[in-house]
Amino acid sequence: MNVLLDAATIQTRVRELAGEIESDYPPGEEIHLVCVLKGGFMFMADLVRAMSSRVSLDFIAVSSYAKSTKSSGEVRMLKDLDSGLQGRHIVIVEDIVDTGLTLIYLQEILRARSPKTLRTACLLSKPSRRQVDVTVEYIGFTIEDHFVVGYGLDFAEQFRNLPYIAVLDDES
Ligand code: IMP
Ligand code: MG
């Protein structure tokens, strides 16, 4: 595996993103962060530790249907949020935006819950893979079309624990 983004590089960028996010909201207003499980967990944990605003957290889990039907953008809700979103400032916290199908679906279902604002933060973006025009206000790093693991991202549930992001070789 080749390291694409080392731990220090990620930490520096996540702190910058935390600052960018906080500066976009009126002082004193709570920011409600919605982490997309499982991949977003490490990004979420570091992001919130770099924030000093009033924040609250929730977690959602979705899974894509079988690969063959993935282009439909259909996703299955595995775990819904604990609390409602009405009138709140929501930031979706996601690991990576690839085709964009998962995210566009999530944005749609969360927008239907009438948040005051709805924005999205993704640690990684692979723009060359995009199938839908999805809006992501905060992007950590734009990367080439490689399958990456670590810092929350998995291959068959492995490698989520790595503190860095690596490109998974074909032979590994
Ligand atoms: P999308 O719906 O195609 O944008 O897929 C988004 C989801 O696919 C992400 O939230 C990840 O869970 C997964 N994914 C996409 N690319 C990668 C990758 O390079 N490594 C690990 N997971 C990935
Ligand atoms: Mg994900």
Going along 43-131, which residue ranges are E strands? 55-64, 75-79, 89-97, 117-125
Atom of ligand 1 nearest to the CA of 126: 16
Average pLDDT over residues 151-171: 92
Average the pLDDT over 18-29 and give the result.
97
Q: If you measure from the C-alpha of residue 93 to the centroid of ligand 2, how many angstroms do you get, rounded to a whole number? A: 9
H helices, E strands: number in the chain? 3, 9
CA distances from residue 19 to 39, 118, 161, 168 in whole angstroms, order as listed: 22, 17, 25, 31
Atom 10 (ligand 1): residue with closest C-alpha? 96
From residue 139, give the alpha-carbon distance in Å to each of 34, 71, 107, 156, 163.
16, 23, 16, 25, 19
Which of 144, 153, 169 to mutate to test ligand 1, by most ligand atoms within 8 A of the CB atom? 153
Ligand 2 mean position, distance from CA 73 (Å): 13
Give the chain's mean pLDDT: 93
- Helix (H) / strand (E) containing 141: strand 138-142
State which residues have CB under 5 angstroms from ligand 2, the bound ion.
Answer: 39, 95
Q: How confident is the model at residue 39 (pLDDT cuts 50, 70, 90)?
A: very high
Q: In this predicted model, what pLDDT tens digit does every residue of 52-110 receive, in sequence order?
A: 999 999 999 998 765 544 556 678 899 999 999 999 999 999 999 999 999 999 999 99
CA of 104 to the centre of ligand 2 (A): 12
Residue 37 Cβ inside 6 Å of ligand 1? The answer reads: no
Please tell me whether the overall predicted TM-score, pTM, comes out greater than 0.75 for this model: yes
* pLDDT value of residue 155: 95
